[in-house]
Structure 1
């Protein structure tokens, strides 16, 4: 969810670190048009490395190929952080895959400003207008369409009902004070309150982002980026509130080195019943079940609590979805695949089998999971929406948010230093 921008000169160092050679992969930068066989190979980069999504997406690619015998979909699937590193390197090189995963926001804008992304406004107009407006927003830049969504959702707390009951917690907390009390109560009962992937940093960022929204307000979070100034009292208070939580030592043992979706990572810790909560997006149940056992009926969801005295409301949500963009000059087959992937039939299959929320209104009937229905209900009632900070902001700023918040949680930065560091990078980006 966001890496620093790189100059062309920095490409060699990053590509070596990311495992890339000097030559981009086959689908990048225009090598995927018709060859001697008359077949168009379209390279599709995504981050769906967990089950069942990995197999479902592969099956959909084969279905598209069966319908279009002169098209071959070459799938490249990378874990979140590896994907971001390689995409940063490819952006610096000036070559992107035919179809690639995007969260929209500032990272996509950087790629668009570099002239690397296809304007889809006209090429998708006949069918993209039927997608949910809120799902399309992250991919609209200067009123032009640069991405097509396949998911939309929000970050919130996923919790173990059985562990809450064991600790005598009758209902999910709705205020920050009550949340801290719940953490103390869980600890007193020998239950690890929270799991987090400290190694990957972006899951830690979620806490500070939500606390900034609750203290300063959702509008202030975006305004700070526009003003390149994060030193306001609401942002300092966000860090202070996060420090209150950290001081309770709420996270699992070894959290600073924990990954998100590994067998010993954040999702597995919750999915195996070894921690009571995680702050994560709408995909959490699927990853919990893939990395661990999953909680079944014991899994519940609640929105990030309100902060007493803050300017934000509990109905202001933080999150985003997933989408696909095309490299500039991508073949028509890539556009056809996006249309296939955004169809009502495909969306129903994605909702049923992979736990995404529908982006096509006709697919809402496929949503039967009560927790995902709860997420959708929260989204529909939202009075404000903020995209992931490491995607909403310029790449370097987003990465600094991740790094500084991680440093605060590790104990090496104060709340004030977090805001100062982010502001410093934001001003350097001018």
Structure 2
């Protein structure tokens, strides 16, 4: 159990070498994972009949090109048809939990390796071990290790390396005297004040999804974990004793930072889908977007002339600040599918180097396959971020269970609008203790 509790920390440490190799493109996997190399690549069932595979995923997972990809696959695999269902990103895990509870799980589905929904799917027997799929060899060994479920299965084909941060509009910042992004919290708030004077918003959430709703609290925990090894150990193992005065004080600081930032947040960011925030950012009404290394392609499509930058949240001084990291979401295969060979054929094709390169280009994400794709210019500094000892897991995909993270976001909003920090903190602690590891 103890080894399991510290899995999140192990994944972060294991991934760094593989990530930097992916950026350099020096790693050459033994197999390209091309579906054409697989005996099942023709996609023909034994009877020659057409097989239909169902697929459920968030709207942004494939960078908006899933229809073109499916047409391309079906043209060379006429006996396999793909029935794709995409949902708003903020609703994908709720929908999947409903499907799991009702037994209506599609042949292939969108998951995040550290998310509670993945554990539910695995425990219910819906996660295929992908280690025998040829295209898994396209990922470095560290990425493969980081995408294992708690039961030890290689659980998903990840779409990229996820680093949480802030996309920013270089031109808007320059208009108010910031030719470089703010380096401290005080500068960040100063930027907000100067933009507000021009009728612009500093900040927009990525929407109402679980990662975004607690925004600044990711760095509150990360900052404290960097400074305090005992807290880091308890945080990553979901065993924090929040009755300790120093930990309660940390929560109060995070809620206060959340409230300060809210003075410059675009109205509606808490409740709108992420696409609304993206659009406001692309149109130049918002200077900074709560984002990650999976979004540049979407933002460039919305505004090809956008001068895009990407920065870490300036929560602490730059030399002390934490970097927030996790493997990106990806696709899993249903272990109870009636058509496992056809699922394998499609996923091997979808995550072949050639097809993955098209997805990575459309998304503008941080590639998870060594030697495949290009790093968006706005993410140039990110490899250096990961070459430090200040890399911390996403709070809501492991260290803090998703429902508890949502409770924290709700507590922060309650404090922001009602002003009772102790009451808000108590609500979070009550929620945390219900899912605290023994």
TM-score bracket, shorter-length normalisation: 0.7 to 0.9
* CA gap 1:250/1:217 in 2 versus in 1, 3 angstroms: same
* CA gap 1:190/1:69 in 2 versus in 1, 3 angstroms: closer
Shift of 1:239: 4.4
Contact 1:306 1:313 in 2 (8 A): no
Shift of 1:198: 6.0
* CA gap 1:286/1:362 in 2 versus in 1, 3 angstroms: closer
Task: Give the Cα–Cα distance (whole angstroms) in 1 for the partners of residues 122 and 169 of structure 2.
Answer: 42
Q: Does 1:117 align with 2:136?
A: no
Aligned residue in 2 for 1:372: 379
Shift of 1:114: 2.5
Shift of 1:245: 5.1
Match of 1:130 among 132, 138, 141: 138
Q: Which stretch of structure 1 is more off in the superposition, 95-104 or 415-424?
A: 415-424
Shift of 1:350: 1.5
Aligned residue in 1 for 2:288: 277
Task: Give the Cα–Cα distance (whole angstroms) in 2 for the partners of residues 74 and 105 of structure 1.
Answer: 27
Shift of 1:145: 1.1
Aligned to 2:100, the other structure's residue is in SS state: helix
Contact 1:204 1:405 in 2 (8 A): no
Structure scoring higher RCO (CA < 8 A, sep ≥ 6) equals 2
Which TM-score applies when normalising by structure 2? 0.77
Contact 1:159 1:278 in 2 (8 A): yes
Task: Give the Cα–Cα distance (whole angstroms) in 2 for the partners of residues 328 and 157 of structure 1.
Answer: 37
Aligned to 1:325, the other structure's residue is in SS state: strand
Task: Give the Cα–Cα distance (whole angstroms) in 2 for the partners of residues 326 and 120 of structure 1.
Answer: 8
Contact 1:315 1:381 in 2 (8 A): no
Which TM-score applies when normalising by structure 1? 0.78
Aligned to 2:59, the other structure's residue is in SS state: coil
Shift of 1:242: 4.5
Q: Which stretch of structure 1 is more off in the superposition, 90-99 or 189-198?
A: 189-198
Task: Give the Cα–Cα distance (whole angstroms) in 2 for the partners of residues 35 and 373 of structure 1.
Answer: 49
Aligned residue in 2 for 1:194: 203
Contact 2:204 2:288 in 1 (8 A): yes
Alignment of 1:98-117 (within 5 A): 98-107=107-116, 108-117=118-127
Aligned to 1:324, the other structure's residue is in SS state: strand
Alignment of 1:164-179 (within 5 A): 164-179=173-188
Aligned residue in 2 for 1:247: 260
Matched residue pairs, number? 384
Aligned to 1:227, the other structure's residue is in SS state: coil
Contact 2:158 2:327 in 1 (8 A): no
Aligned residue in 1 for 2:34: none
Q: Does 1:211 align with 2:223?
A: no
Aligned residue in 1 for 2:333: 326
Aligned residue in 2 for 1:53: 63
Task: Give the Cα–Cα distance (whole angstroms) in 2 for the partners of residues 230 and 98 of structure 1.
Answer: 41
Contact 1:204 1:406 in 2 (8 A): no
Q: Which stretch of structure 1 is more off in the superposition, 415-424 or 83-92?
A: 415-424
Deviations 1:187-227 (A, max 9, x none): 34443211225655642312211222113439746723521
Contact 1:94 1:116 in 2 (8 A): no
Task: Give the Cα–Cα distance (whole angstroms) in 2 for the partners of residues 253 and 368 of structure 1.
Answer: 32
Contact 2:167 2:289 in 1 (8 A): yes
Contact 2:214 2:409 in 1 (8 A): yes
Task: Give the Cα–Cα distance (whole angstroms) in 1 for the partners of residues 392 and 67 of structure 2.
Answer: 32
Task: Give the Cα–Cα distance (whole angstroms) in 2 for the partners of residues 143 and 398 of structure 1.
Answer: 25
Aligned to 1:145, the other structure's residue is in SS state: coil
* CA gap 1:175/1:242 in 2 versus in 1, 3 angstroms: farther
Aligned residue in 1 for 2:101: 92
Match of 1:81 among 90, 93, 105: 90
Task: Give the Cα–Cα distance (whole angstroms) in 2 for the partners of residues 376 and 57 of structure 1.
Answer: 28
Task: Give the Cα–Cα distance (whole angstroms) in 2 for the partners of residues 69 and 362 of structure 1.
Answer: 31
Shift of 1:142: 3.8
Contact 2:259 2:412 in 1 (8 A): no
Task: Give the Cα–Cα distance (whole angstroms) in 2 for the partners of residues 379 and 333 of structure 1.
Answer: 37
Task: Give the Cα–Cα distance (whole angstroms) in 2 for the partners of residues 106 and 369 of structure 1.
Answer: 27
* CA gap 1:339/1:234 in 2 versus in 1, 3 angstroms: farther
Task: Give the Cα–Cα distance (whole angstroms) in 2 for the partners of residues 346 and 130 of structure 1.
Answer: 12
Deviations 1:343-367 (A, max 9, x none): 111121122222122121120xx31
Deviations 1:12-37 (A, max 9, x none): xxxxxxxxxxxxxxxxxxxxx97987
Deviations 1:287-332 (A, max 9, x none): 4355xx4263522111122425x9x943532344121112223312
